[in-house]
Structure 1
Amino acid sequence: MTTRLSLALTAIQIALIAIYFQQPLAEFLNPRPTVIDSKRGITYIGSRSSHGAVEHFQNIFYAEEPTGPRRFAPPVPTNPQRGSVIDATQSGAWCPQGTGDILPFTSRVTNISENCLSLRIAKPTGTRGDAKLPVIVWIHGGGHILNSASDILYEPDGLVKHALAKGRPVIYVGINYRLGLFGFATSTTLIERKETNVGLRDQRAGLHWIRDNIEAFGGNPNQVTVIGQSVGAADIGLQLVAYGGEEQVPFQQALMMSGAIGTIFNTQPDLVASNTAAIAQQVGCVTQDGHSQNLQTLECLRKISFETLTNLSVAAARAARPLFGEGFFYPTIDNDFIQDRPSQLIRAGKLTKGIPVIASWVTNDGAWYAPSSTSTDEEVLGTFGLWLQNLSESTNKKLLELYPQEDFTHMVRPKIDGPTSPQYYRAAQMSRDIWFTCPVLDFTWQYVQHGGVKPSHVRLYEFNQTRYAPVFEEMGVPMWRVSHLSDIPYLFNIDHLGGGADNSEVHRALAEDFSSRIIQYAYGALPGVENSDGEPGFWPPAYSDDMPEQSHISVPSQGPKSMSIQLFGGPYGSGPVSVFKDAERYFEASGEAANALYWEKLYSRCEFINGEQFRAEAGV
């Protein structure tokens, strides 16, 4: 009786204390995660995941609200007063973009605002401030026109939990940055004022915040691995050639998923300046003398409501570049952050050195970019004609020769895909190579050749498995197969991917393998170096350390004679495949995986796409 009375009194006492401090009882008993930055005198209040293993700190601003005179201007770092308590319990607004649904397995866009320059941080529960854990930073894709670090597809719990289970805990940070007109508007005046490419400058400001503040969350600012996908990967490449390579990047290594600097077409500012001027014309910001790029126009644009500018710019982008509007507002040469065509910068040795790189593509990365109805040569060329408007007749003719229709007849699956022509798969493969595969091969090879890193510090992979197959079938596009985005759920080790995706054990096993390798990489180990800790099998370097180095960077490289590509998933299983320039040597390799990579004809196709003529016409 006495024991029961004591327990009752204790419960009453706890409840009274909670009421006194104006806290809910559940919160008093299970307090929210707190991080105290003693150097700056700032307290961050976070939340805990339902399973309790991961603490989240969201909507942490690294830059002031970019409105009024700060719209279209470089980010201004935040400087909270000492004693500030920052509520980081809820996700923040997405940067201005079109609202609504994107894909069944991604978030619905509902909350947008210019006040979006924020970070989301996840860490193992109870991580001490002096833990000095490796940091993984995520730069999302979305064609520089949509998306956010808060998208459900990038939920970090699975990655953070898996790293902890492997005995290699990490800190995760996602960066939001300005998109579309707000992130990449350009004009003569903006170039003169060095107020261009602010989306890229946002990314760098976010990385600087991480460098200066992540230690309070238990992270090591000197052990940062930045990961980007699609244009997020391309932006990592642009960060490496930014300012002509004269400013050191605030990260130590990189993973570039389906993207490199050659993914950004038409980098001369003319097209984006014209698109910016068109929006200015629509809102009445063009002066009577017709000048659309002067200071008066810029000051006018800074006074227009963000809703108006968002609606007009998103509508214009999607009309010109359906479905999502990629390639309408994007990074361009400004003689400051980007000083020349990116492929020329790296060939001139104007790059940040010493950053190990993993770079990649997925097997059907270009599947989205070709309509399933594609059935003629003209329609094949038209699938990328919207983005590459300056390709010459001789270039188009060469592309058709390099990708003969008969190479793709074996891909037709009438019972699954319906009446899909081999021309569709031909167009999809061209788009894959032009957007993703060939730029990745060019960037990594040129980075090695021009003193970026040793060959042994570059890894390549092709991902050949997807969890989206049932989703694509439901959407009526089963021919997309292992499409763009396919490797993301494996990186994040997501147990239950939504939208009707495949969550079976075979996919979860590959996710554990793939994410384990990236965690190992975040710890500074070259991926796949087999050891007694039960790490995954060997993943060889892309290029050989004994290859001859160029003595003069002005001498064009002839390309590697061989390269190693790690294959993940698919019918052939995971493992490294050696690819040789001498086509006959493919037949010496054993296994179906080698034959599949031979079928891709990476050497002949990418030598042309990465050649001077194509790069000049593509403006990369």
Structure 2
Amino acid sequence: MAGRVFSLSFGLGAFLLGLTAVYLGLSQDRLLHLKDEYGVILPFSHESPPVVIDLAKDIKYVGSREHEVEHFQNIFYGEDTSGVRRFAPPIAVQPLKGSTIDATRPGAWCPQGLGDVFPFTSRVANISENCLSLRVARPGDTKPDAKLPVMVWIHGGGHALGSASEILYKPDGLVKQAVADGQPLIFVAINYRLGFFGFAISKALIDAKQTNAGLHDQRRALEWVRDNIEAFGGDPDKVTAVGQSVGAADISLHLASYEGKRGVPFQQAIMMSGSPGLNFNTKSDLVANNTAAVAREVGCVENDSQSVETLNCLRKVSIETLANISVSTARAARPPFGEAFFYPMYDGDILTDRPSRLVRAGKFTRGIPIIASWVSNDGAWYAAPTISTDQEVLDTFGLWLYALSEPTKARLLELYPIEDFEGMVRLDYDGSISPQYYRAAQLNRDLWFTCPILEFAWQYVRNGGVEKSHMHLYEHNSTRYAPSFEMMGVQMWRVAHLSDIPYVLNAQHLERADNSEKQLQLSKAISTKIVKFVTSGVPEDRWPAAFANATMGDLKGEFPNKLSLQLLGGPHHNMPITIDKSGDEDTGTAAEQAVRWEKLFGRCEFINSDKVRAEIGT
């Protein structure tokens, strides 16, 4: 009875909140946000919900409609992962014939820390181990036989945060713009297990082949798309996997999974600010030690932390206890979000070696056209604004890259001389910031993102992954988060990590962000380029292939002598540029000079060298 009273009270409260919202004159976008996040009933709405019927499987999906976009949320692709299924690979959901699936509202997020993350992101409030679900968004009135290209979003969050339902990934602007451009598509976003629940590792788990659960979840979700998206009007043979940050890194791991012998359930990929370089120390015992530490903390280790007995005990611990302790342990060690504490590791199964070794050995799935990218200030939040010494610069990545030799550290400081960053200081806006901060931010950007991305792109092409014409790069140089960064007191972040997401997804309204007409138009322009790649395999005619000018001799080298990329946003707007190893920093167009200032050839050649990759463990 109490449960029924609660449901009735919440329903009445939601209705009254919706009615109040109308009388207060809240915008349509804000109303729809209330509906998504809190189940608010919008009064006076008589639209019938969209329905998809899978005739072959006799399943009906009931969704919701927002303007011209139809949403189907919380569709389960995997069974509940609690109890004995904790850590294990997902079991595919098999709905009974004649089932009607309520896909009208978002479901639970996979276990992670609760609360706020950024001012422009969702508040994490509802977690469950029964979280292996996805969402589908499509143009209104899509026909069952439409055969639309499909874009599958794999979210970032350091393998510690995130969900398909995150407001930052709202796909409506992308879907509507794609229709306006005459290139409609279907958008899918997936949940997958995170942190301790997704990436715990031990001898017992390795022996049982139950490691890297989060990667298995992603593959299972992509297989669901392959097997079911046709009922929604999608083309299962035209799927583009799009990942941001660790989502992008995971795409590269999927390409190298099982040494390429099992293929991948997608035909194209976009890797935004991520490559195998985000998975440092892949063959170390780091994550195993972190797993053991949590097991001890919850009282599951009597003698051997690697034993089956410890594993069985961990499966009996409540989700509340395990989530609280694993998240707090990770965040204490890797503040503020606990990223890079649990992540994909070498297990002799899905990953048979360090990722860079697999790619350099040509042990990967071939024939996948790729766009790979980075953001101008991707490393901004890895450095504290108070940094002022060489040692503090090195300390910003010391937690993660703990095996760097002293000669390597010295050489990194030489490659990033402090005088290169003195011109970046803006005392009137950033406050009292040392050039050392910007030096550390650039170093972190190149170590985490830019150089590993270039390494993967070059090695994938030179080792026969794709033809030169099917590898593209971009650098993104605009942000809509400046108002939030100012509110947080981190305006020095500038075009920080995450900045390209609202442009790619064409977000037309963001909370506490720059929604000016200029930024909205830039978002449309960038989204159009991305959608063109998803729908046609070519981003646009003026977007050059990354290594189009590489000769057979060049392809024998460990690093390119010339590269082309698309510069998106910033003072130079959207334009293609080409730089070469011998080019002078002060020659060429202003855009080319800006990218040459980054000194990608000398810096990334060193970071991607055998010696440094071995020390980093990628």
TM over 0.5: yes
SS at match of 1:375: coil
Matched, 1:76 2:79: no
Q: Decide which of 198, 203, 208 is 2:223's aligned counterpart.
A: 208
Alignment pair present for 1:45 and 2:58: no
Q: Structure 1 residue 298 and structure 2 residue 295: aligned?
A: no
- Alignment length (residue pairs): 578
Residue of structure 2 aligned with 1:334, choices 325, 334, 347: 347
- Give the equivalent residue in structure 1 for 2:431: 418
> Which residue in 2 is equivalent to 1:474?
487
Q: What is the correspondence of 1:93-108 to structure 2 with a 5 Å cutoff?
A: 93-108=108-123
Match in the other structure for 1:542: 546
Q: CA RMSD in A?
A: 1.5
For residues 126-205 of structure 1, the aligned pairs below 5 Å read 126-205=141-220
Distance in 1 between the 2:569 and 2:533 partners? 19
* Matched residue, 2:257: 242
* Residues 405/334 of structure 1: CA separation in 2 closer, same or farther (3 Å cut): same
Please say if 1:459 is aligned against 2:490: no
Identity of aligned residues (%): 60
**1:167 alignment partner, SS class:** coil
Deviation at 1:31, TM superposition (A): 1.8
CA positional deviation for 1:25: 13
- Alignment partner, residue 390 of structure 2: 377
**Partner residue in 1 for 2:530:** 518
1:269 is displaced (CA, Å) by 4.6
353-362 or 558-567: bigger deviation: 558-567
1:167 positional shift: 1.4
Q: In structure 2, do the counterparts of structure 1 residues 396 and 26 end up closer, same or farther at CA, with 3 Å as the change threshold?
A: closer
Q: CA deviation at 1:550?
A: 8.3
Supply the AA of the counterpart residue of 2:128: S
The structure whose Rg is larger is: 1
- Once the two structures are overlaid, the 10-residue window that deviates more, 260-269 or 237-246, is 260-269
Q: 3-state SS of the aligned residue for 1:279? A: helix
Q: Residues of 2 paired with 1:268 and 1:111: CA distance?
A: 34
Query: What is the one-letter code of the residue matched to 2:524?
Result: E
Shift of 1:558: 2.9
Cα distance in structure 1, aligned partners of 2:121 and 2:578: 35
Instruction: Give the partner amino acid of 1:35.
Output: V
1:347-393 Cα shifts (integer Å, max 9, x gaps): 01100000000000010000000000000000000001111111110
Could you tell me the TM-score, scaled by structure 1's length? 0.92
Q: Contact between 1:449 and 1:550, CA under 8 Å: does it hold in 2? A: no
Q: In structure 2, what is the equivalent of residue 325 of structure 1? A: 338
Alpha-carbon deviations, 1:481-530, whole Å to 9, x = none?
A: 000000000011111111x211111111111111111111111241112x
The answer to whether the 8 A contact 1:42-1:82 is kept is: yes
1:115 aligns with 2:113: no
Distance change >3 Å, CA 395–CA 85, structure 1 → 2:
same
The 1:194/1:549 distance shift into structure 2, 3 A limit, reads farther
**Alignment partner, residue 598 of structure 1:** 596
Contact 2:554 2:561 in 1 (8 A): no
What SS does the corresponding residue of 1:573 show, helix, strand or coil?
coil
How far did residue 545 of structure 1 move? Answer: 5.5
The equivalent position to 1:617 in structure 2, one of 604, 612, 615, is: 615
- CA distance in 2 between partners of 1:525 and 1:484 (Å): 26
Match of 1:20 in 2: none
CA contact (8 A) 1:234 1:264 kept: yes
- Which residue of structure 1 aligns with residue 29 of structure 2? none
- Residue of structure 2 in register with 1:229 after alignment: 244
- State the distance in 2 between where 1:347 and 1:230 align: 22
SS in 2 for 1:523: helix
What do the CA deviations read for 1:133-160 (whole angstroms, capped 9, x no partner)? Answer: 0000000000000111110000000000
**Which runs of 5 or more structure 1 residues have no equivalent in the other structure?**
1-23, 530-537
1:367 aligned onto 2:371:
no
Q: In the alignment, is residue 496 of structure 1 matched against residue 509 of structure 2?
A: yes
Task: Flag the 1:305–1:526 CA change in 2: closer, same or farther, 3 A.
Answer: same
Structure 1 residue aligned with 2:500: 487
Q: CA, structure 1 residues 26+36, in 2 after alignment: closer, same or farther (shift >3 Å)?
A: farther
Indicate if the aligned counterparts of 1:456 and 1:545 stay in contact, CA closer than 8 A: no
- Residue 18 of structure 1 corresponds to none
Alpha-carbon shift at residue 574 of structure 1 (Å): 1.7
Asked if 1:349 is matched to 2:362, the reply is: yes
Query: Aligned runs of 1:394-433 on 2, under 5 Å?
Result: 394-433=407-446
Residue in 2 aligned with 1:9? none
Per-residue Cα deviation, 1:577-597 (whole angstroms, up to 9, x for no partner): 11101143x5442x2111111
Distance 1:26 1:105, change over 3 A: closer
Q: Is the 8 A contact 1:225 1:522 kept in 2?
A: yes
Answer whether contact 2:550 2:562 (CA < 8 A) is retained: no
- Structure 1 residue 30, shift from structure 2 partner: 2.9
Counterpart of 2:548, as a letter, is S
Please point out which of 264, 267, 270 is paired with 2:279. Answer: 264
AA at the equivalent of 2:525: D
Contact 1:58 1:121 (C-alpha < 8 Å) held by counterparts: yes
1:4 maps to which residue? none
Structure 2: gaps of 5 or more residues: 1-40
Once the two structures are superposed, residues 198-231 of structure 1 have per-residue CA deviations (whole angstroms, 9 ceiling, x without a partner) of 1000000000000000000000000001100000
Question: For the structure 1 residues 587 and 25, does the alpha-carbon distance in structure 2 shift closer, same or farther, using more than 3 Å as the test?
Answer: closer
Residues 67, 263 of structure 1: CA spacing in aligned structure 2 closer, same or farther, 3 A cutoff? Answer: same
Quick one: distance in 2 between partners of 1:30 and 1:595? Answer: 54
2:105 corresponding residue in structure 1? 90
Aligned twin of 1:7: none
Q: Counterparts of 1:333 and 1:549 in 2: how far apart (Å)?
A: 33
Structure 1 counterpart SS, 2:74: strand
1:140–1:229 contact (8 Å) kept in structure 2 = yes
Question: Per the alignment, in what secondary structure is the counterpart of residue 479 of structure 2?
Answer: coil
Judging changes above 3 Å, is the alpha-carbon distance between structure 1 residues 28 and 409 closer, same or farther for their aligned structure 2 residues? closer
- Aligned partners of 1:26, 1:46: CA distance in 2, in Å? 18
CA distance in structure 2 between the aligned counterparts of 1:546 and 1:379, rounded to whole angstroms: 39
- Contact 1:127–1:218 (CA<8 Å) still a contact in 2? yes
Q: Name segments (4+ residues, structure 1) moved above 2 Å.
A: 24-30
Distance of 1:598 and 1:29 partners within structure 2: 57
Cα pair 1:454 1:545 within 8 Å, conserved: no
Name the TM-score, length of structure 2 as normaliser.
0.92
